[in-house]
Structure 1
Amino acid sequence: MIKLNKDPLYEALMKDIAHYITKEESINLITEAYNLAKEKHLGQMRRSGEPYITHPVAVTRILTELQAGPNTLVAALLHDTVEDTDLTLENIEKKFSKDISQMVDGVTKLNKLSFQNTSQADNHQKMLLAMARDIRVVLIKIADRLHNMRTLDSMSPEKQVEISRETLDIYAPIAHRLGLFRLKAELEDRSLRYVDPAMYYKVSNLVKAKKEERENSINNVIEYIKDLFEESNLRDFEIKGRIKNIYSIYKKMVNGGRQFEDIYDLLAIRIIVDKVETCYQSLGIIHAHFTPIPKRFKDYIAVPKPNMYQSLHTTVLHSDGTLFEVQIRTHEMDEVAEYGIAAHWAYKENKVYSKEREQFEIAQKLKWYAELLKITEDQDDILGSSEEFVDTVKTDIFTANVYVFTPKGEVIELPAGATPIDFAYRIHTDIGHRMVGAIVNNRIVPIDYQLQTGDVVSIKTNKNSSGPSEDWLKIAKSPHAKHKIKTFLNKDKQEQLIASGKEILDRELSNLKEEIEINDDFVKKNFEKNQLSTVLDLYLEIGKGTISAKSVIAKLVPDDNKDVILKRQLERTTRQLIATSETGVVIEGLTNPQIKLANCCTPIAGDDIIGYITKGSGIVVHRHECPNVLEFDKNRVIKAYWGSNVNRKYATWLKIIGTQRQSLLSDVIFVVNSQGISIAEISAISNAQLESIIHIKVSCTKKDEVDTLITNLHKVPQVYYVEREIR
């Protein structure tokens, strides 16, 4: 074992560690870290005048109270060295391990975060947790803040208030959410002393005024209950008392408008027994010898809180007029209630540890239990209302979010999977509409790039941008961005429908021999029942298809000319129906329209199809069963047909899934080739379920050929799924 000359600071640290760490290799590791930290911080002083090494040692000693593992203690000793000395992360990794250097790096990054904007405190809380993928980093940071609060007297009054508010807004709630309730209570009490000193000392004095009396009262009640239990032959039990911390009392008085004397759970007695049955037996004894207060009994054993908290709660009146809250639970329930997730951090030397295993166990709990654990125990202290509690549960547990920065350091919260489009619209609607590109972490990224927590995002705009497209709706993740995009597109669609309506009516008018001008007066006179008053209104309705151009012509043309006009229209329609575009698709009423077959569902002659008028791409033809059709604006969907003389090949995708075997791909290719069908593209992958997934693009003349191919592919041994793929 490494020896040090007599060093009181080191000896105090090792005394704390000795309670649960005894292995020589672990002791040596911690000693090396202490020596290195002391060497690197040599000559550095804190504002209090103490040597700087006292700070990392104090942080480490706080972590020993949670029985943190050796690596965490080493990282705590070194947590300021990279930022404040010439020691590098590479040095730490080489001398200790990558695990330790990564923890130090995590704490260093958290130290650089600025929390000036307290209105974003909740975002900061969640971002800290999200950024620190290794939760041990958060532990070190909370311990670091606690020691800073213990030595805050050396700071200026302005700094004391600023740091204390930050602690109440950010660090105390994180400690609460992670089950570090003793640390949380101390952070709160110390912060209140600087934030609201008048109330702090008022509450403190109220507590102290009758401290001896209350302690005597608690002790007397505890002794009385012990006697009662022994008379009832109860043996395996533990009874302890507590007085609520100053900040909790302050919150009840200030936020709840309650008088000090009206706080029922100011004094509490906790009874810990061996099994559930004994909990109820103990409750019976308490109620038989104390007066229970109506409506103050809660059975959280039979019906646990959402955070898995279990206990019996009752408030009783002692014969001397003192009110007590009594909590009755088993040893296991008490561990959950007292330590929460922190109980899972306790280091045990007889257990084989790895970072991955440790993190897996913690992460399992954090998904549900750590975020909720104890949030409800002091609900009226921490949260103002049940609505806020529900919102906290939804936001922190059931929603996975990312937290990114603007170039100025403002934190923006977005849904998981969010893209630069979501970020742009969160900043401002005009930024989103004029967005032409994005830079993330000083690197140009595509607009469908998925943002990660900690990314610094900058949006490039152009005032001449044509605005968002339909495709953006598929890329955006946030409801806010989608709403803004849809609003823009609806306005743009309206302009397109007006143009389309004018084109349709002009085409009909061109068949008339005489020149006819349509004005607002004509519209008001003939379409008042349709609530139309301008020519633009009329164009819009024609474009939407709610009013036909023929009905407009009917009101314009004298009766004796109507038969001639109708004959011309029928002849033209007949010609258009038998004509085909190069796609083989016919759109009724349009001559030489711009038609494109959709890439997502790859229609083939014989499929049931529809047309969709797009922005700038003409008409895109989709299969009826294409899921994208459900999202289309019905006003822009038009009828489409296959021509009678289609003579071309169409590409379509098939997806084939089968049991993973070496010759499956070659068998599939053989079946396709034997049917005389060409293969345009093919790819195959394997997944964790030992399946082979084949994507194949084939070229066929009609739907019947594809249907036959699908039937034949189903006959390939160990193939159990074949479908046309929609991308």
Structure 2
Amino acid sequence: MSAEATNPATPGPVTGPAARWRARIDLRRLGRAALLGPTARDRLPDAISHVVEAHRAHHPDADLEPLRRAYVLAESSHRGQMRKSGEPYITHPLAVTLILAELGAETTTLTASLLHDTVEDTEVTLDQVGEQFGAEVRYLVDGVTKLEKVDYGAAAEPETFRKMLVATGNDVRVMSIKLADRLHNMRTLGVMRPEKQERIAKVTRDVLIPLAERLGVQALKTELEDLVFAILHPEEYEHTRELIVENASRADDPLAEVADEMRTVLRDADIQAEVLIRPRHFVSVHRVARKRGRLRGADFGRLLVLVAEDADCYGVLGELHTCMTPVVSEFKDFIAVPKFNLYQSLHTAVARPDGQVVEVLIRTHQMHKVAEAGVVALGNPYAPSSDEPADGERADPTRPGWLSRLLDWQQAAPDPDTFWSTLREDLAQNREITVFRADGGTLGLPEGASCVDAAYAQYGEDAHACIGARVNGRLATLSTVLKDGDTVELLMGQDPASEPSREWLEHAHTPAARIAIQRWLAAHPATGEEGERPAESAPAPRPTTEALSTEGSSTARPAANVVVDQPDATVRLAGCCTPVPPDEITGFAVRGGAVTVHRVLCTAVARMKSTGRPEIAVHWGGTSECRVTLVAESFVRPHLLADLTEAMATEGAEIVSATVEPPAQQRVRHTYTVQLPDAADLPALMRAMRNVAGVYDVSRTQTQPGMS
């Protein structure tokens, strides 16, 4: 896995976990110990003394025998292999294992870490690993073993990552080992050719660092960021290093002064707490410099307050906000609402009299451990619990929603290139939101996700039939971007021929949605390329009023069975409200002695009454045929017009005229004037129209009339 790694030449962070690790491990010393060969049976080799010491600090009762046996097998298997630096190869698995031990990994992870390159680089087989160390160690070693370039060619790297991610879905410890392996390789990348350094650094930036962030392993993530920064942006790295060195030489330290003030405040409040200065790593300083311009002393770090219990965190917050000057806009509560990567802390800031702002992190010791080590700090997530049924099933509490989604879409990626590019895009979306489903469930989606993404997250490829959505109870287009906490109800059509639209790709942010839509379009090139699927463009051919009209304007039509208290009057039903039995109606005289009949609730009635026009009493003489204008509002989909007209014909309605407006934002408005044999059939007709897939409302026309 790491035979290419060589001498450390790339500068790393001045402070932080990297400095501690480098102080703890002397690769040359480990190399000399390894050259001495295996030690007597049952005696711990000197070469793993650093690993044992770090492991016991987190797990004082751990059984060290598996580590001894794993080291003996790894050392004997790698004996004679050298790194490009000239060191014995065994120094690499030892360094990787020490990184994990410092983070608090349990014994099984460390055992697999010592053996992680044996199957790939030596004659040891997976079966042998399984026989000697058990199924879990075998699984972890298999998960991080590369696929051969001889078999996969250029696809070896993406397919290796695909394999590794699938293994991570069953056991996140696979990715823990991979991250530690990449960190040590990045530390020792200096003698590689510049072009190879750049290629490895870019993969680290695009894939490994986002994975470290999502798994919450901040200690690895921050050092990887700095190492990548040094390789890909050497001039900016050097400038940042100079800023850090210059700040360290200053006599005054605003962070130390505020830390002392905080200690006094908390001591007076009888709150037991540690207040530590937490220097920013290189990339963090660089980001702050780009954001704020000139840096001041408080910008080079943050204060970390560690307490025993969750309640103490809020106690600290209250004291700081009471006794110091808080910057309220900087407050964030990641304890009540943890980040998707397990991170918990209170974030706040206080202002000094000179205007400098000091950022403060408040967390418990356990939260701090998880913030640094993420899933590694959880130990063995598969250890049996007395609360779990002994049914052989292993529930993984460390498999977050983003990982489940990733595993779902990777199966549909048609080729390694698509998988590789889509993986990088997916991992670039760091923030996750929670959306509530109408049925009571939840969906975890990346920030910026739309209703299209929600549809494919909930229904998979059945989302091709989605015709619209309601967000927080209101109708919304599929392009609507969802926010954290939204409730979304997806409206699904029943037409088996439902198709996705190419335009949906513009609103799809998740790989699951994009890949599903692209697969359908690739399988239906005629529809996809010609744009005939009109879910967000044009519907099926749109008839106009002229095309379907048979009797002209509905306002001039004679009324059926309307009795008027005015002899010999000509009666017309108003086109603005198209009254039909049993509507309450009223009449108004118009030129030529005619009487126009309106629904009582028509807006024109109120306007005419306000001008003093007298009403004429009218009433229905009996139910019989009637003419009415209806407006159907719907989401755009193929065959909608045909389905609507068929539903209307089934109810016995004769379409006199119809108008279909151009679609806007995935919606379309149809206006139909229909003749019914009996006015009592109107409610049934409107129900039949609403039942057509894609139709979300049918109403009587409310057209504003001109002169009645």
What is the TM-score normalised by the length of structure 2? 0.50
- Aligned counterpart in structure 2 of residue 266 of structure 1, from 300, 307, 314: 300
- Specify whether residues 94 and 9 from structure 1 end up closer, same or farther in structure 2 by C-alpha distance, changes over 3 A only: same
Q: How far apart, CA to CA, are the structure 1 residues paired with 2:344 and 2:252?
A: 26
Cα deviation for residue 44 of structure 1 reads 0.4
Contact residue 296 and residue 313 of structure 1 kept, 8 A: yes
> Residue 341 in 1 paired to residue 341 in 2?
no
| Residue 517 of structure 2 corresponds to residue 479 of structure 1 | yes
Tell me the residue number matched to 1:179. Answer: 216
Going from structure 1 to structure 2, the CA distance change for 1:249 and 1:361 (only over 3 Å counts) comes to farther
CA deviation after TM superposition for structure 1 residue 397, in Å: 7.2
After TM superposition, give the deviation of residue 147 of structure 1 in Å: 0.7
Q: Residues 493-552 of structure 1: CA distance to partner in whole angstroms, max 9, x if unpaired?
A: 99xxxxxxxxxxxxxxxxxxxxxxxxxxxxxxxx99967xxxxxxxxxxxxxx899xxxx
Cα displacement string for residues 635-662 of structure 1 (whole angstroms, at most 9, x for unaligned residues): 4998999xxxxxxxxxxxxxxxxxxxxx
Write the distance in 1 (CA, Å) between the matches of 2:146 and 2:366. Answer: 37
Of 106, 115, 130, the match for 2:143: 106
For 2:205 and 2:529, the matched residues in 1 are separated by: 47
Task: Decide which of 40, 43, 50 is 1:12's aligned counterpart.
Answer: 50
Which residue does the alignment assign to 1:244?
Answer: 280
**Structure-2 residue corresponding to 1:43:** 80
Displacement of 1:217: 3.8
Q: In the alignment, is the contact (CA less than 8 A) between 2:345 and 2:367 conserved in 1?
A: yes
Query: 1:160 is matched with which residue?
Result: 197
Aligned residues of 2:216 and 2:343 also touching (Cα < 8 A): no
For 1:84-233, what aligned pairs fall within 5 Å after superposition? Answer: 84-109=121-146, 128-133=164-169, 134-213=171-250, 216-232=253-269
Shift, 1:104, TM fit: 1.4
Distance 1:93 1:124, change over 3 A: closer
What is the Cα deviation at residue 186 of structure 1?
Answer: 0.7
What aligned pairs does 1:444-523 form with structure 2 within 5 A after superposition? 478-482=516-520, 488=526
TM-aligned CA deviation for residue 209 of structure 1: 1.0
**Cα displacement (A) at 1:182:** 0.6
What letter corresponds to residue 361 of structure 2 in structure 1?
Q
Where structure 2 has 5 or more consecutive residues not aligned to the other structure, the ranges are: 1-38, 407-423, 436-441, 447-455, 465-494, 501-511, 533-542, 551-636, 651-708
Q: Does the CA-based 8 Å contact 1:125-1:174 persist in structure 2?
A: no
Letter in 2 for 1:150: R
Does the 8 A contact of 1:125 with 1:173 survive in 2? no
Contact 1:264 1:315 in 2 (8 A): no
Whether the 8 Å contact between 2:212 and 2:221 is mirrored in structure 1 is: yes
Shift of the alpha carbon at 1:288? 4.9
- Cα deviation code 1:656-687 (max 9, x no counterpart): xxxxxxxxxxxxxxxxxxxxxxxxxxxxxxxx
- Report the Cα distance in structure 1 between the residues aligned to 2:343 and 2:165, rounded to whole angstroms: 22
Is the 8 Å Cα contact of residues 308 and 365 (structure 2) preserved in structure 1? yes
Q: What percentage of aligned pairs have identical amino acids?
A: 31
* Structure 2 residue identity aligned to 1:14: V
Superposed counterparts of 1:59-98, under 5 Å: 59-98=96-135
| Contact 1:167–1:187, Cα closer than 8 Å, also in 2 | yes
Aligned partner of residue 180 in structure 2, secondary structure: helix
Give the helix-richer structure, 1 or 2.
1
Q: Distance in 2 between matches of 1:99 and 1:363?
A: 17
1:664 paired residue number: none
Contact conserved, 2:172 with 2:375, CA < 8 A, in 1?
no
TM-aligned CA deviation for residue 488 of structure 1: 3.6
Compared CA separation, residues 371 and 243, structure 1 to 2 (3 A)? farther
Are residues 1:326 and 2:360 paired?
yes
Which runs of 5 or more structure 1 residues have no equivalent in the other structure?
Answer: 373-382, 401-413, 423-468, 495-526, 532-545, 549-629, 642-727
Measured in 1, the distance between the counterparts of 2:281 and 2:546 equals 71
AA at the equivalent of 2:280:
K
Note the 1:497-576 alignment, pairs <5 A.
Answer: none
**What secondary structure, in the 3-state scheme, does the structure 2 residue paired with 1:193 have?**
helix
Displacement of 1:196: 0.8
Aligned-pair CA distance for 1:418: 7.6
Answer whether contact 2:147 2:160 (CA < 8 A) is retained. no
Aligned-partner Cα distance in 1 for 2:273–2:496: 67
Q: Are the equivalent residues in 1 in contact too, given 2:244–2:300 (CA < 8 A)?
A: no
Task: Give the Å deviation of 1:12.
Answer: 2.7
Change (3 A) 1:189 1:238: same
Whether contact under 8 Å (1:9, 1:54) holds in the other structure is: no
For the Cα contact (< 8 Å) 1:238–1:273, is it kept in 2?
yes
Give 2:91's aligned residue.
54
C-alpha distance in 1 between matches for 2:104 and 2:357: 36
What is the alpha-carbon distance in structure 1 between the residues aligned to residue 380 and residue 349 of structure 2?
A: 33
Decide which of 301, 316, 329 is 1:295's aligned counterpart: 329
| Residue 78 of structure 1, CA deviation | 1.4
2:444 to 398, 408, 418: 398
Deviation at 1:135, TM superposition (A): 1.5
- Higher RCO, 1 vs 2 (CA within 8 Å, ≥6 residues apart): 2
SS at match of 1:99: helix
Cα displacement (A) at 1:106: 1.3
Aligned residues: 433
Deviation (angstroms), 1:74: 1.9
Q: Given residue 398 of structure 1, which amino acid in structure 2 is its aligned partner?
A: G
Q: CA deviation at 1:185?
A: 0.5
Task: Tell me if structure 2 keeps the 8 A contact 1:344–1:362.
Answer: no
**Would you say the 8 A contact 1:115–1:124 is kept in 2?**
no
For residues 113 and 211 of structure 2, what CA distance do their matches in structure 1 show? 18
Q: Is residue 21–residue 27 contact of structure 1 (8 Å, CA) maintained in 2?
A: no
- Cα 1:492–1:88, aligned 2, differ >3 Å: closer, same or farther? same
Displacement of 1:107 in angstroms is 0.8
Structure 1 residues 359, 106: closer, same or farther in 2, change over 3 A?
A: farther
**Alignment CA distance shift 1:261-1:393 (3 Å):** farther
Could you say if the C-alpha distance between residues 345 and 9 of structure 1 is closer, same or farther in structure 2, counting changes exceeding 3 Å? Answer: same
Letter in 2 for 1:343: A
Q: Secondary structure at the match of 1:316?
A: strand
CA spacing shift, 1:8–1:336, aligned 2, 3 Å: closer
Do the aligned partners of residues 278 and 60 (structure 1) sit closer, same or farther apart at CA in structure 2, a change above 3 Å counting?
A: closer
Task: Report the Cα distance in structure 1 between the residues aligned to 2:349 and 2:355, rounded to whole angstroms.
Answer: 12
Give the deviation of 1:189 after TM superposition: 0.8
Is this contact kept in 2: 1:368–1:397, CA < 8 A? Answer: no
